Amino acid sequence: MSKKLYIGISGLIGVGKTTLAKALEKDGWKAFFEPVDTNPYLELFYGDMVENSFKMQIFLLRERFRQQQKIGLEECNVVQDRTIYEDSVFARMLNKSGHMTDLDLKTYLDLFDTLSSLMPRPNLIVYLEVEPEEALANIKKRGRFCEKGITIQYLTALRDEYELFIKEISRVVPVLRIKYSNFPSVESIVKAVQSGYDASHNIIEAQLQN
């Protein structure tokens, strides 16, 4: 891979996005991570989603947009632990589950559309696919206090929304889908990322009739 690449890692909470981003960082990539430790809304959000969902989404949109601006200035390969595009996955899921009003969702999506024209687009999105039950087990294993209220219902709804997102985003950005449990090591995923990008293209052969 000779040119500068920008790859986004996508997937459920607890799937291993940060682990993969750190592996690529060790391989010489510039890594951008989710603002977990600096997020003042995270614990509040999981305590009361109705009250804090819109605030949480706006905070994340701002932080990820700042990341996007920095990514556009990088000269080396870049990997991002969850892209800005995935924020809409959470916003739509929160709206469908009754935790975000239609008005708040519209305001959020309008703001996202305004900012999206100013953002660099990934060369490839790596979707780490995992069952909600496995994701929940990983979340419990890492033991973040703010995530103790995450339920299997929440993760299942999120997974369903992710499937819709992947179909939509793949129209404009190539997506490499990886069944995370099938890979015995992070190194094998790194190799799959490299070969996946080399094989990706958006050419469709037209079927024409005389």
Q: How far, in Å, CA of 178 to CA of 193, rounded?
A: 9
Q: How far, in Å, CA of 124 to CA of 205, rounded?
A: 21
**DSSP string across 164-201:** HHHHHHTTTS-EEEEEGGG-S-HHHHHHHHHHHHHH--
Position 81: which residue type? Answer: D
Of 81, 104, 110, 160, the active-site residue reads 81
Find all residues with CB under 8 Å of 114, minimum gap 6, and list them: none
Q: How far, in Å, CA of 16 to CA of 41, rounded?
A: 22
- Residue 81 falls in the annotated catalytic set: yes
Query: What is residue 203's DSSP assignment?
Result: -
CA-based nearest residue to 23, from 190, 199, 205: 190
**DSSP string across 100-125:** S-HHHHHHHHHHHHHHHTTSPPPSEE
Q: Which residues pair with 9 in a beta bridge?
A: 81, 126
Task: Catalogue the active-site residues.
Answer: 81
